[in-house]
């Protein structure tokens, strides 16, 4: 073994292994914290100018639906459309928030592709 080469591992010395392990540990700890934060988040989206509001957690778990009397008065088909639209908007808000938070978590760790 040449001096300064370290153990083999295909050019992946012990120092790099330790660094990789530390990064993996940081990701695991950050992911647990992020999961807790997402569960606690309440993200509300609406449709029909606020006639229907849907609230999801940050990990897309439904929390509540609010329907204004005016939305009910517009009839079943219109109400169905408003509920569906609000649900889609809430889902989009939740997934974009989750994606942004994941990028924040992995972006500062110097991982390839981030």
SS3 68: coil
DSSP 11: G
CA 32 to chain centre: 12
Structural domains present in the chain: 43-104 (3.30.1310.10)
At 72-82, the pLDDT tens digits run 999 999 999 99
Sign of the C-alpha dihedral, residues 6, 12, 16, 20?
A: negative
What is the token pair recorded at 113? 């592709």
CA 65 to chain centre: 21
Which pTM does this prediction carry? 0.70
State residue 41's pLDDT score. 94
pLDDT at 109 over 90: no
φ, ψ dihedrals at 57, nearest 5°: -75, 175
């Amino acid at each position: 073994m040449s001096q300064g080469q370290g153990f083999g591992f295909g050019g992946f010395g012990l120092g790099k292994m330790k660094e990789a392990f530390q990064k993996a540990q940081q990701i695991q700890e950050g992911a647990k914290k992020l999961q807790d934060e997402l569960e606690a988040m309440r993200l509300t989206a609406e449709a029909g100018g606020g006639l229907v509001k849907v609230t999801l957690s940050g990990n897309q778990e439904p929390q509540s639906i609010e329907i204004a009397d005016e939305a009910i008065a517009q009839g079943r088909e219109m109400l169905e459309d408003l509920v569906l639209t609000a649900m889609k908007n809430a889902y989009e808000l939740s997934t974009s928030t989750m994606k942004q938070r994941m990028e924040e978590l992995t972006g500062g760790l110097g991982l390839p592709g981030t």
